[in-house]
Amino acid sequence: MITRQIDALIELIGVHDGVAIAFSGGVDSTLLAVAAEQALGDRALAITVRTPYIPRWEIEEAKQLARSKGIRHLIIDLPVPEAVTENPAERCYLCKQVVFQNIIRVAREQGIEVVFDGTNADDLKDYRPGLRALAELNVRSPLQELGFDKETVRAMSREMSLPTWDKPAYACLLTRLPYNTRLQEADFRMIERAEVFMMELGFRAVRVRKFGDLAKIEVARETLPRLLDMHVFDKIVVTLKEIGFAQVALDMSGYRTGSMNDQLRLGGSGQ
């Protein structure tokens, strides 16, 4: 079954003369980029966008992944788009408009007309205004088109021996800040440093949400007992205060993507 699904993905990609893949180095885009390289060789191009709100370690991982798999790879540097400087509820839509306009531009400069992204079938279940931008720009999502959900993508990745098969879901650092908050470079770096520290402690699935000078930590529920060890938690508190947070709290609901969207469901502003 998994082998047939991999073949279907490679076949879908292979009918094109060339494709560009929006490549973050995550589970979905890595599977897509590797399949494209197998289908098209150098006619497949992975494009990574580097902005102030993408963790720097993610950019490095994307570079290493592309190099290790022989994938042609370009990086585009972009500033924070003016439209998202106040972190509006439609930030994902507004950001993806700018990001994918630039990916399309670079792809066409390379003679490539078809642009793919790694949206999978499960992504339709959450509040994802960015999907509208993809539709408006005619960006295709092969994993979604083939009906592959996250579990299937991970199984396919494991079958292909990709190191990302069990990589936790990540998202840009805008998602760590409440909606309608003025974006600042210093906040991005604080959040990134805090999350890197947490990952170094062994918490792979982690979010550090920033509410003013408060850091709210989310970790996978199965790792909560370890976090509640007072020796570990005291170390976290000391380090996060050194980074610049005045207060540190733990979200007992545990790690989950899109938790800032709870405010939208409740009709709040995200503050």
Q: What CATH number is given to the structural domain containing 51?
A: 3.40.50.620
Of 8-17, 42-51, 222-231, 256-265, the least confident: 256-265
Same domain flag for 51 and 114: yes
Strands 206-211 and 214-219: antiparallel
Same domain flag for 106 and 189: no
Domain that holds residue 196: 173-265
Same domain flag for 146 and 178: no
Same domain flag for 29 and 52: yes
Of 66-70, 168-172, 218-222, 239-243, the least confident: 168-172
Q: Name residue 20's beta-bridge partners.
A: 45, 115
Band the pLDDT of 246: cuts 50, 70, 90.
very high
Query: Looking at the domain assignment, is residue 98 inside a domain?
Result: yes
pTM over 0.85: yes
Q: Is the pLDDT of residue 96 over 80?
A: yes
DSSP secondary structure string for all residues of 122-157: GGGGS--THHHHHHHTT-B-HHHHTT--HHHHHHHH
pLDDT, one tens digit per residue, over 66-88 is 999 999 999 999 999 999 999 99
Same domain flag for 11 and 71: yes
Query: Looking at the domain assignment, is residue 46 inside a domain?
Result: yes
Residue 271 is predicted with a pLDDT of 32
CB 156, CB 149: distance < 8 Å: no
Distance of CA 141 to the CA centre of its chain: 15
Strands 206-211 and 44-50: unpaired
Band the pLDDT of 261: cuts 50, 70, 90.
low
